[in-house]
Amino acid sequence: MEYVVIFEKFENNYGAYVPDLPGCAVVGATLDEVRRLIAEAIDFHIEGLQEAGYNVPQPSLTLPVQTPPGQSSELIATRI
């Protein structure tokens, strides 16, 4: 599965979140670090949902993504 990830540039760091997985977000010093952390966070988030017996939201590949200045988006594949 691939989820849309929104990346944001802040004054001193970067952040990323997954609109289809509420609460799945990370912050890091560099964009490369944030890419690595969000991929790990997606897998961890999905594992937690599964262990708790919750349904895992399917990716919204048709999710309209409009990124203002300072933001970008990409699809991140999960291991699960």
Give domain limits for the chain.
Answer: 2-77
- Structure confidence at residue 74 as a pLDDT band (50, 70, 90): low
* pTM, to two decimals: 0.78
Average pLDDT rounded to a whole number, residues 25-45: 96
Considering the chain, what is the average pLDDT of its residues? 85
Contacts (Cβ under 8 Å, ≥6 apart) of 55:
49
- The CATH number corresponding to 2-77 among 3.40.190.10, 3.40.1080.10, 3.30.160.250, 3.30.470.20 equals 3.30.160.250
68 pLDDT more than 80: no
CA torsion angle 4 17 59 41 (round to 10):
110
Q: Which pLDDT belongs to residue 77?
A: 62
Q: Which pLDDT belongs to residue 4?
A: 86
